[in-house]
Amino acid sequence: MSNQAIQLLNEAMEANHKRSYYAAYPEQPKAYGDEATSLGLTAFQQRLNQNYTELNTEEPASWIGEEVSPYMQTGLGIHYPAFATETYITKAQQAWDGWAALPVRNRAEVLVDSLERFKARFFEIAFATMHTTGQGFMMSFQASGPHAADRALEAIAVGVEELERYPAEVNWVKPMGKFDLSIRKNFKPMPKGINLVIGCSTFPTWNTVPGLYAALITGNPVIVKPHPKSILPIAMVVAELRNALKAAGLNPDLVQLAPDTVAAPVTKLLAEHPAVQMIDYTGGPAFGLYVEGLNKTCFTEKAGVNPVIVDSVQDIKAVQQNLAFSICLYSGQMCTAPQYIFVPAAGVRSSEGTVSYEDFVAGLSGAVKDLVENPKAGPFTLGAIQNELTIERTKAAVQKYPHVALESTAVQHPEFPDARMYAPVVLTAEAAEIEGNISELFGPCVLVVKTGSTEESLALAAKAVAEHGAITCLAYTQDSAIMQQIEHTMNRTFTPVSFNFTGAAFVNSHAAFSDFHVSGGNAAGNASFTNSDFINRRFVWVGNRFA
């Protein structure tokens, strides 16, 4: 390995153990030079209305593409090479042996090289993400660039450690009294086979690269099946992986992109193919349950009903402003966004006295409204709605819970007059109204539930998570006993809790090398970015003995 790759890998492995702050790739655009943004925009614009030839494949069976910018409401006009299912399978099998035979450190060096190539394109990928997902530019840059690369490096680092957990060879000696029994043994981590990675429409790189790199570091070939509306960002990552493989003298078909269209999906054809041994999936619960039912090794991130439990606070305005930002960020199109906020009918204790339920709702609604109407912050925080169906689901939530504290309104973007943008709607309900009636609220929508007490809030939150899963839970309390009770109860549902977040700490964000994204223990998903289980289920230890 090169000295640079060794240093980066060692730092990442150390960070995984310490769980303290570490970022291999800076998240501030200024760190990449003054011209990086404009160069990235130009590179993205030059991709429009072209065939995407960077994958350097043979002549495809067809060229397909139907991505539409949520900001411009026009098609990107980019078409990607598509092949028959059997072609992907055959190419993956042909590329597998050479990669599986490489020592893990050699694989890591190639993968780290691909991340450096990926790094050089952070800004181009940011604009591609912005115009396929609707994320604001800053989120697009951070999530699809440095944060995604950090998660990929995290998977490489955990992979190296797990694959080197046992010695490659040992001379086993058992004393037998008058003689010793000596047996030479070796231990091989054997990769399972083709790994299908199914991407989502809202975070096409951040949610895809952990499984992609976990599969590769463990010696498996990968077929990446992106969402048909968000192909370009991950296509660039796949292109750089293929470039890194080719530069190392390896078969680039170890990693393939398998695009499709909404009308002619290929996901099930690939997922059900007997040669596909593993599946990574991010997306809606219904298809996630289908993936989990295929009797294959699978890693799913689905969805949940992320609760917020409000008991007592130090600064009520700081809490409301923090919640407002978390609700507005990317218009709630995040798997970690708050959805159900539980507040006692008797109000919220604060340093300035008790704040009634009604005043809490009014203050939260006001904080959302202030953020949305801030011309320098609102449109860029909200982003655009990726899918029209998200708006329809929000309308359905309003019909389900008709008590509206703050209406959802269309928002104008100063740079993109045709952008599909909506402010969040704030709904209210009594505890009795949500009993047996809870469902995911994905998008610009949040429900504030009036409960009889903090104890009922916790019970309702835990029951909702037990039934539907959750990725996050946010709680506000100044009482240490209640804090311990919330932590214990929610952890029993395998849900992590963030306590008393204000200022720049937001429940939406999970940090690579420190936070486990999804616990893998409830209905929100069966896997976690990035624990050892996320790596170990992709290979099998096989031991051989030689007398």
Residue-wise pLDDT tens digits, 460-472: 999 999 999 999 9
How many Cα atoms within 13 Å fall on the side-chain side of residue 391?
13
pLDDT tens string 334-370: 999 999 999 999 999 999 899 999 999 999 999 999 9
CB count within 10 Å of CB 114 equals 27
Q: Which residues of 65-102 are buried (b: 16+ CB within 10 A; e: fewer)?
A: bbbbbbbeeeebebbbbbbebebbbebbeebbeebbee
Q: What is the distance between the alpha carbons of residues 284 and 299, in angstroms, rounded to a whole number?
A: 14
Residue type, 437: N
Strand, helix or coil for residue 80: strand
CA angle 106, 192, 231 (to 5 degrees): 75
pLDDT of 6? 85
The half-sphere exposure of 195 on its side-chain side, counting CA atoms within 13 A, is 32
The answer, yes or no, to whether residue 2 has pLDDT greater than 90, is: no
For position 91, what pLDDT does the model report?
A: 97
Q: How many helices (H) and strands (E) does the chain have?
A: 19, 19
Mean pLDDT of 184-211: 97
Mean pLDDT of the region 10-33: 95
- What is the structure's pLDDT at 435? 85
**Residue 297 binned pLDDT confidence (cut-offs 50, 70, 90):** very high
pLDDT value at position 55?
A: 97
Note the pLDDT tens digit of each residue in 240-259: 999 999 999 999 999 999 99
pLDDT at 1 over 80: no
pLDDT-derived band at 325 (thresholds 50, 70, 90) equals very high
- Mean pLDDT for all residues in the chain: 96
What is the model's pLDDT at position 4? 83
pLDDT band at 119 (very low <50, low <70, confident <90, very high): very high
Mean pLDDT over 108-112 rounds to 97
pLDDT of residue 5 exceeding 90: no
195-212: average pLDDT: 97
Please give the model's pTM, rounded to 2 decimal places: 0.95
Residue 402 binned pLDDT confidence (cut-offs 50, 70, 90)? confident
- Domains of the chain: residue spans and CATH: 3-302+527-546 (3.40.605.10), 307-499 (3.40.309.10)
What pLDDT does 437 receive?
A: 86
Q: How confident is the model at residue 436 (pLDDT cuts 50, 70, 90)?
A: confident
Beta-bridge partners for 475: 309, 499
Res 138: pLDDT? 96
Q: What pLDDT is recorded for position 59? A: 94
**372/382 Cα distance (integer angstroms):** 8
pLDDT at 310: 98
42-82 pLDDT, tens digit each? 999 999 999 999 999 999 999 999 999 999 999 999 999 99
Quote helix, strand, coil % in the chain, to nearest 5. 40, 20, 40
In the chain, the percentage of residues whose pLDDT exceeds 70 is: 100
CA atoms within 13 A on the CB side of 86: 0
The pLDDT of residue 428: 97
Residue 280 Rama label (left phi>0; alpha psi -120 to 50; beta): beta
What is the length of the chain?
547
pLDDT at 229: 97
Scan for tokens 């993109």, then name that residue.
416
d(CA 418, CA 416): 6
Phi-psi region at 286: left, alpha or beta (left = phi > 0; alpha = psi -120 to 50) = alpha
